[in-house]
């Protein structure tokens, strides 16, 4: 049976539509309960998680930038020391 044929059968049978709707709602409730998002504060929890992830991304970007800057400054310092030793000593 093709997908299109199955969709037609489901649409034409109201009992099957109700059973599928109830099963999908129950399945989504169970899935949310498994991850701890079944209560009324679930929306706030998701917002907090997104904020936490965004903060992590900012920290990761800043840390990477800081490490790169430190390497560049260290390298320039070594070059400067080498030039000093060669030309002014």
Pull the structure tokens for residue 14: 């109201």
Residues 42 and 49 sit within 8 Å (Cβ to Cβ): no
Residues 57 and 65 sit within 8 Å (Cβ to Cβ): no
Indicate the DSSP class of residue 14: H
What are the 10-residue block averages of pLDDT along the chain, 89 residues in total?
Answer: 68 81 93 88 90 97 97 97 87
Question: For residue 40, how many other CB atoms are within 10 A of its CB?
Answer: 6
Pull the structure tokens for residue 62: 């800043």
- pLDDT of 87: 87
pTM of structure: 0.55
């Amino acid at each position: 049976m093709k997908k299109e044929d199955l969709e037609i059968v489901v649409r034409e049978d109201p009992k099957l539509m109700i059973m599928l709707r109830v099963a999908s709602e129950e399945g989504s409730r169970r899935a949310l309960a498994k991850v701890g998002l079944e209560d009324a504060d679930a929306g706030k929890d998701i917002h907090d998680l997104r904020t936490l992830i965004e903060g992590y991304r900012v920290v990761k970007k800043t840390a990477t930038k800081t490490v790169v800057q430190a390497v560049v400054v260290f390298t320039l310092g070594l070059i400067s020391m080498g030039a000093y030793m060669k030309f002014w000593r």
